[in-house]
Amino acid sequence: MNTILLKTDDEDLKKAAGIIQEGGLVAFPTETVYGLGVNALLTDGAPKVYAAKGRPSDNPLIIHLANPEDAEKYCYTTPTYYRIAKLFMPGPVTYILKKKPCIPACVTGELDTVAVRIPRDPTAHRLIELAGVPIAAPSANLSGRPSTTTADHCIEDLFGKIEAIIDGPDAEIGLESTILAETGTPGEIKMLRPGGVTVEMLESAGFSVSLDKAITEKLADNERPLAPGMKYRHYAPNAQVCLLDGSFADTAAYMLAHANDDGTDIICFEEDSDLSGLPNVHVLGSFSDKETQAHKLFALLRSFDDMPNVKKVYARLPDKSGIGLAIFNRLLKASGYTVLKV
Ligand code: TXA
Ligand code: MG
């Protein structure tokens, strides 16, 4: 397929919106990661997305809207949805609601609920507005690879497979949105996937937050995560990632002892000053600067696939507070839940 590259000006976004309206696929920037968009109202839209990504078709897609109130047309909204919307939308949060019949079953993986997100990235917002339809979009990566956070990574994964790619800026946050669902109890909210809207932010807004087990633990074969996509081995580079769990000093000693192992790379923080400077060591940022870590993580994980000699990657566990929970969750999945106590 001939893929066109578009810019973020209105003229090009009108072209992109036209492609969406006609049922084509467009990769576009958002503040979390790049999305691979299709008109959510078409029954043959989602299957094209699954085919381009090489993704199992039971994994439901998020629909992207321009404004929180637009959800009225596609799902049954609730007071809690509007509370969250007032606090965090537009932004890096996705909310699960009961769907209306106009959303085809192929978009929601046959579920009777639909995931709704209102991106704050200006290009994403303008594209949705111009398209005038909800845009169903998973992350714009080949299935199994880390989500794309730059236009170049989209081109790498999807050029030749879709109608257009918008050559926009790098994603501001760098990790996918927080997914929330209601528990049935007022004031309570369940987190299905951690992201830029954090447990702490929700708690300080007065919510009590419960975490789906799939965020921090490997589920048994007979267990199902609430967000079906959380069961896949996402974010994994070809090299085996191994997380190191121990005191700061013990982890530093372990990494230093293995820094010269053949085919071994290391992900650590600026505070690991004995390691920084070595050629096979990748510094994610300062231990406390989680925004920078989030911003850099997926590009780093993807880069290991360009280094076929790297067979093993040791990574120091990040701090789990704030967006650190999302960084921890993605690293855990990248490692296939391989955690070594040191
Ligand atoms: O930041 C993001 O959320 C990005 C950008 C493009 O918006 N999108 C994204 O989409 O990460 P995707 O398809 O890679 O992940 C969507 C997640 C999957 O884990 C899926 O199972 C879950 O959302 N999901 C979608 N619809 C759902 C539903 N009705 N109930 C529960 N989980 C749902
Ligand atoms: Mg994804």
Q: What is the pTM of this model?
A: 0.97
| Cα end-to-end distance, the chain, whole Å | 50
Mean of the pLDDT values across residues 146-151? 95
Task: Establish whether residue 139 lines the binding site of ligand 1, counting it when its CB lies within 6 angstroms of any ligand atom.
Answer: yes
Q: Is the CB of 227 under 6 A from ligand 1?
A: yes
Q: What is the DSSP string of 35-60?
A: EEEEETT-TTHHHHHHHHHT--TTSP
Distance (angstroms) between ligand 2 centre and the Cα of 141 equals 7
- Residue 283 CB contacts under 8 Å (≥ 6 apart), including other chains: 268, 269, 270, 272, 276
Residues in CB range of 14: below 8 A, 6 or more apart: 130
Confidence of residue 270 (pLDDT cuts 50, 70, 90): very high
Bridge partner list, 114: 97
* Closest C-alpha to ligand 1, atom 31: 227
pLDDT in tens, 33-48: 999 999 999 999 999 9
Phi–psi pair at 157, nearest 5 degrees? -85, -30
Establish whether residue 62 lines the binding site of ligand 1, counting it when its CB lies within 6 angstroms of any ligand atom: yes
Q: Is 176 a pocket residue for ligand 1 (Cβ < 6 Å)?
A: yes
Report CA(260)–ligand 2 centroid distance (Å): 34
Which is nearest to 137 in space by CA: 65, 54, 236, 230?
Answer: 65
103 three-class SS: coil
Q: Which residues are within 5 Å of ligand 2 (an ion), measured at CB? A: 139
153 neighbors 61 (Cβ within 8 angstroms) = no
Is 70 exceeded by the pLDDT of residue 234? no
Quick count: other Cβ atoms within 10 Å of Cβ 223?
A: 11
With contact defined as beta carbons under 8 Å apart, do 174 and 285 qualify?
A: no
Ligand 1 centroid–CA 92 distance in Å is 12
pLDDT in tens, 185-222: 989 999 999 999 999 999 999 999 999 999 999 888 88
Calculate how far, in angstroms, residue 54's C-alpha sits from the geometric centre of ligand 2. 12
Asked if residue 236 has pLDDT above 80, the reply is: no
- The answer to whether the CB of 148 is under 6 A from ligand 1 is no
For residue range 300-326, list pLDDT tens digits in order: 999 998 899 999 999 999 999 999 999
Which atom from ligand 1 is nearest to the alpha carbon of 228? 21
For ligand 1, the distance from its centroid to the CA atom of residue 245, given in whole angstroms, is 29
**Neighbour-count burial for 293-323, b at 16+ CB within 10 Å, e otherwise:** bbbbbbbbbbebeeeeebeebbbbbbebebb
Atom of ligand 1 nearest to the CA of 140: 6
Q: What element of type H or E holds 182?
A: strand 178-182
179 lines ligand 1 (CB under 6 A): yes
Q: Residue 58: its pLDDT value, please?
A: 72
pLDDT surpasses 70 at 27: yes
**Percent of the chain topping pLDDT 90:** 87
Per-residue pLDDT, 232: 65
Q: Which of 34, 103, 139 best tests ligand 1's pocket when mutated (most atoms within 8 Å of CB)?
A: 139
pLDDT at 233: 64
Ligand 2 centroid from CA 279, angstroms: 30
